[in-house]
Structure 1
Amino acid sequence: MYADIQNEAHLLQQMAMGSQPAFKTVVAAYWPNIYAHALAYLRSPEKAEETTQDVFVALWEKRATLPAIENFRGYLFITARNKIVSRLREKLASEPADGDEDVAETLYVPDSQLELKELNSLLRRGMDQLPAKRKKVFEMSRLEGKSHAEIAAELNISKDTVSEYITLALNFLRTYLKNNGNHLHIAIFCLYYL
């Protein structure tokens, strides 16, 4: 699960000015999920680590453009996906194996904005099926970026209840996407929301 990043926009501004502490904060928050995603496709801890490093090297190299990015998680996902596809293509070129071509083609979808719109639409339909309070907690956590403590205080519920609602919502939405979407939607969902 992603660590809560407070003031993400401020961190991106700091990174744009060359702040290494801000960069380290972003890396610490996003590394585990990107690594897990790379490992799932590359099936090699070494290749997954190299690919994850490539993602963050690319992020640092483009740091000046970060403040203008509206959806940082989406940008990071697209960067990670492209790096994973490149690794898969290298693997296919050196040692083709049955089924790997399907994985590479599934990951590579030219219109990334379209796939994000499709996922958002699908997620909204799934979220509309959640009980009202659970939906509210999920939105506050994953869409508004509020901490469990902030949500608990605003809704006058315990932090344990917040955690439980988020877990239940994530489990429901993951199942909903499996039944109504495709595995690319699930991959994006895992990278964004888990």
Structure 2
Amino acid sequence: MYAEIQNETYLLHEMAAGNQQALKAIVEAFWPNIYAHALAYLRSPEKAEELTQDVFIAIWEKRSTLPGIENFRGYLFITARNKIISRLREKLGDELTGDEADAAETLYIPDSQLELKELNSLLRQGIAQLPPKRQRVFEMSRLEGKSHAEIAAELNISKDTVSEYITLALNFLRTYLKNNGNHLHIVIFCLYYI
């Protein structure tokens, strides 16, 4: 999951002592994974980069506690997870409250993936009902991670058409989930695909 780093314990002690070169080594080792994780949820390179910076700023601000941490990778993951949850709550505003917020948090715990499996199955059924071209555009965008420009070039259509197809697909899938799932499925769908 995370890059292997030599002398991690030494680097954490050095960071605790205020050594910025140790921080730099930690950032270089873990930045790609934290950034990729943030990007998967936030779907914005700028927001993912900002969040990743915030994670390492938070680590630096708490550097005096680092030598006592037995599982730094786990600590880093939890810090990133908490910041992602905060950003998603901001993004969804009042839509994510109470039990739904608690349920959304479980998405970031590796042992709690049942809702995701249910959503994936329901989503696959919904995607199969999209018109073929719209289905392909949606899959290329949301499942393969291609940009609108890449999709337009590959399918020989305009970027505006790509945007229109994705909007129509998202609207259809939201309705499909509302009619065939539960409210939590819609919340999860928004967290992952919008």
TM-score (norm 2): 0.53
Contact 1:148-1:163 at 8 Å conserved across structures: yes
Shift of 1:62: 3.2
2:127 is aligned to: 127
**Residues 116 and 80 of structure 1: CA distance in aligned 2, closer, same or farther (over 3 Å):** farther
Aligned-partner Cα distance in 1 for 2:119–2:73: 26
- After superposition, give the CA deviation of every residue in 1:23-69 in whole Å (9 maximum; x if it has no partner): 89559847868xxxxxxxxxxxxxxxxxxx78x969xx638998xxx
Q: Secondary structure at the match of 2:27?
A: coil
What are the within-5 Å matches in structure 2 for residues 35-184 of structure 1?
62=73, 79=81, 100=98, 102-103=99-100, 112-184=112-184
| Bigger radius of gyration among the two | 2
- After superposition, give the CA deviation of every residue in 1:68-99 in whole Å (9 maximum; x if it has no partner): xxxxxxx999x459967xxxxxxxxxxxxxx9
1:185 is aligned to: 185
**Residues 127 and 80 of structure 1: CA distance in aligned 2, closer, same or farther (over 3 Å):** farther
Contact 2:41-2:191 at 8 Å conserved across structures: no
Q: 5+ unaligned residues in a row in structure 1: which ranges?
A: 1-8, 34-52, 67-74, 85-98
Q: 5+ unaligned residues in a row in structure 2: which ranges?
A: 5-24, 44-53, 60-71, 87-96
Count of matched residue positions in the alignment of Structure 1 and Structure 2: 139
Contact 2:151-2:162 at 8 Å conserved across structures: yes
Contact 1:119-1:185 at 8 Å conserved across structures: yes
Shift of 1:104: 6.3
**Residues 103 and 159 of structure 1: CA distance in aligned 2, closer, same or farther (over 3 Å):** closer
Aligned-partner Cα distance in 2 for 1:32–1:167: 18
Aligned-partner Cα distance in 1 for 2:100–2:185: 14
Aligned-partner Cα distance in 1 for 2:173–2:83: 22
User: Quick one: percent identity of the two aligned structures?
Assistant: 58
Task: Identify which of structures 1 and 2 has the higher relative contact order when contacts are C-alpha pairs closer than 8 Å and 6+ apart.
Answer: 1
- After superposition, give the CA deviation of every residue in 1:87-136 in whole Å (9 maximum; x if it has no partner): xxxxxxxxxxxx95x55675569962221110000001111110000000
